[in-house]
């Protein structure tokens, strides 16, 4: 029996495990550390699921575990594990892993690396400058004016970006990042403000081989009407009707394939999921950011839409076989239930009732079980996925599921999918 290890503990990993479990290869699943909600995969698919109490950042322990258990394939969710060099360690140990090396993962971990690569290989993105010194950054700001975008150069869990509509707002962000070292000592990238609908293009990559999945759209702001602070993502849907097919095809060729090729030329070929956070501007698609991993929550709608055997697809790709995954025509739309206060301060162990009455697919982002009762165990807690012949009916289905859940201390956006309706 094939043994697959999935690393991570959120909704994204739940979706990866759920989809992997349905493979014709009938795998045994190990998830480190996973969450209690993932055990429901066994009821749904029959696949054995084992939660492994090893932290996703404990690379050495994960490597030892994989060796001892004879794990056939490891799939990695969170970026921190990639930045720790988990793929490099697994390669040294001769263990198969679907994840980029530390060098390749810089495409996400360092905004400056990503920007320089895009410049060098003519991959379309906003013009930018990098600064370490507040005074210099301030001079550039005064010359450029607003709106302008300020990004902390490093991992800040999706929260290190300020889209400043005024010079004052931009200045405050520069002070925060360069003088008060809010995220630690570092650099900022200041870039031109772009406009247009955003979409996420997840591709499965091995070297120069790039396999696009269907596009999705995330909702980064916390509240309805795209108001409030940026979050890890409050909901997602696929397909994204506002983005024409030809633009996606163009982005696959000129952004995703060019980037995979560029990384090969730079001596750090990419293996794993290359995620393009793209914006369709008046001048065509441009890169807002790259991630070196599955998006969360995009994965939770993209994998349900995938008809083909996900595990087989990844195994074939690792052997450089040609793969052409198929997708369902149905639309999928998912809504995040988050703890009140997220993305700021929030409480844990908040009660969740009626979860077993939800007939829609639910991915657990941050839950635990306390005396047989589901409770929250993180900022983003649950992800309820609706399905339908179009976005409207998928939305209706998702909110029916959301409303079944009795969790007064959680909140959700009521308008997921608005750009498609
Ligand atoms: P990022 O973490 O780089 O994806 O940025 C978070 C969000 O900030 C993006 O989803 C965009 O909505 C916005 N953003 C980032 N860069 C730009 C830009 N150059 N122009 C306009 N909006 C941007
Ligand atoms: N949903 C955005 C991300 O995964 O970075």
**Domains with residue ranges and CATH for the chain:** 3-99 (3.40.50.20), 127-190 (3.30.1490.20), 198-318 (3.30.470.20), 331-420 (3.90.600.10)
State how far the Cα of 198 lies from the Cα of 217, in Å rounded to an integer.
7
Confidence of residue 156 (pLDDT cuts 50, 70, 90): low
Atom 3 in ligand 1: residue holding the nearest Cα: 289
Interval 23-59: pLDDT, tens: 999 999 999 999 999 999 998 889 999 999 999 999 9
- Each residue's pLDDT tens digit, 353-378: 999 999 999 999 999 999 999 999 99
Location of structure tokens 């198929």: 326
Q: Which atom of ligand 2 is nearest to 291's Cα?
A: 5
Q: Find the mean pLDDT for residues 153-157.
A: 65
C-alpha closest to that of 85 among 67, 109, 66? 109
Kindly state the average pLDDT of the residues 299-306: 98
Q: How confident is the model at residue 61 (pLDDT cuts 50, 70, 90)?
A: very high
Question: DSSP characters for 37-89?
Answer: GGGHHHHHH---EEE----TT-HHHHHHHHHHHT-SEEEE--HHHHHTTHHHH
pTM for this prediction: 0.95
Mean pLDDT of 72-87: 97
Rounded to whole angstroms, the Cα distance separating 352 from 348 reads 11
Residue located nearest, by CA, to atom 1 of ligand 1: 289
Question: Which ligand does the CA of 150 lie closest to?
Answer: 1
pLDDT digits (tens, 9 = 90+) for 210-232: 999 999 999 999 999 999 988 99
Tens digit of pLDDT for each residue in 196-214? Answer: 999 999 999 999 999 999 9
**Closest-lying ligand 1 atom to the alpha carbon of residue 218:** 10
Say if residue 175 is exposed, middle or buried (CB neighbours under 10 Å; 0-12, 13-18, 19+): middle
Whether the predicted pLDDT of 181 surpasses 80: no
Does 129 score more than 60 pLDDT?
A: yes
Centre of ligand 1 from the C-alpha of residue 41, in Å: 35
Q: Which tens digits make up the pLDDT trace of 384-410? A: 999 999 999 999 999 999 999 999 999
Distance 84 CA to ligand 2 centre (A): 19
pLDDT at 154 exceeding the cut of 80: no
Structure confidence at residue 106 as a pLDDT band (50, 70, 90): very high
What per-residue confidence (pLDDT) applies to 182? 74
Residue nearest to atom 3 of ligand 2 (CA): 295
288 lines ligand 1 (CB under 6 A): yes
Query: What is the band of 155 on the pLDDT scale with cuts at 50, 70, 90?
Result: low
Residue 164 CB partners (closer than 8 Å, separation 6+): 146, 147, 148, 149, 150, 170, 173
Helix ranges (H only) for 230-358 are 245-251, 258-265, 299-305, 310-318
For ligand 2, mutation pick of 298, 338, 383, 416 (most atoms within 8 Å of CB)? 298
Query: What pLDDT, in 10s, does the model give residues 241-288?
Result: 999 999 999 999 999 999 999 999 999 999 999 999 999 999 999 999
| Confidence (pLDDT) at 157 | 53
Print burial letters for 184-204: b (CB count within 10 Å at least 16), e (below 16).
eebbbbbbeebebebbbbbbb
Q: Is the pLDDT of residue 187 over 70?
A: yes
Average pLDDT over residues 110-137: 95
Q: What mean pLDDT do residues 131-139 have?
A: 95
Averaged pLDDT of the chain: 96
Ligand 1: residue of 108, 157, 163 to mutate (most ligand atoms within 8 A of CB) is 163
């Amino acid at each position: 029996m094939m043994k697959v290890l999935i690393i991570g503990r959120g909704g994204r990993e739940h979706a990866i495990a759920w989809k992997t479990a349905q493979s014709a290869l009938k795998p045994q699943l190990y998830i480190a550390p996973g969450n209690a909600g993932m055990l429901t995969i066994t009821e749904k698919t029959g696949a054995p699921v084992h939660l492994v109490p090893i932290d996703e950042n404990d690379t050495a322990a994960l490597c030892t575990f994989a060796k001892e258990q004879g794990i056939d394939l490891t799939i990695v969710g969170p970026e921190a594990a990639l930045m720790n060099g988990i793929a490099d360690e697994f390669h040294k140990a001769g263990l198969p892993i679907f994840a980029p090396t530390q060098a390749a993962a810089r495409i996400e971990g360092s905004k400056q690396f990503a920007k320089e690569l895009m410049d060098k290989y003519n991959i379309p993105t906003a013009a930018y400058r990098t600064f370490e010194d507040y005074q210099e950054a301030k001079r550039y700001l005064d010359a450029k004016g607003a709106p302008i975008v300020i990004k902390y150069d490093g991992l800040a869990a999706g929260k290190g970006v300020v889209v400043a509509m005024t010079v004052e707002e931009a200045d405050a962000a520069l002070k925060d990042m360069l003088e008060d070292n809010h995220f630690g000592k570092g650099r900022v990238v200041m870039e031109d403000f772009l406009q247009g609908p955003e979409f996420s293009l997840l591709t499965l990559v091995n070297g120069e081989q790039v396999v696009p999945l269907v596009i999705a759209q995330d909702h980064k702001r916390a509240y309805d009407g795209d108001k409030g602070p940026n979050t890890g993502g409050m909901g997602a849907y696929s397909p994204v009707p506002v983005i024409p097919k030809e633009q996606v095809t163009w982005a696959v060729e000129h952004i995703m394939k060019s980037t995979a090729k560029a990384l090969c030329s730079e001596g750090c070929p990419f293996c794993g999921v290359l995620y393009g956070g793209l914006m369709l501007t008046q001048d065509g698609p441009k890169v807002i950011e790259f991630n070196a991993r599955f998006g969360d929550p995009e994965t939770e709608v993209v994998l349900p839409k995938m008809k083909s055997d996900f595990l087989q697809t990844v195994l074939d790709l690792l052997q450089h076989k040609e793969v052409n995954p198929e997708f369902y025509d149905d639309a999928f739309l998912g809504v995040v239930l988050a703890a009140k206060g997220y993305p700021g301060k929030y409480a844990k162990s908040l009660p969740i009732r009626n979860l077993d009455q939800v007939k829609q697919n639910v991915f657990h982002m941050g839950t635990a079980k306390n005396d047989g009762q589901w409770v929250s165990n993180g900022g983003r807690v649950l992800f309820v996925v609706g399905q339908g012949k179009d976005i409207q009916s998928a939305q209706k289905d998702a909110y029916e599921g959301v409303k079944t859940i009795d969790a007064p201390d959680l909140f959700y956006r009521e308008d997921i999918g608005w750009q498609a309706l």
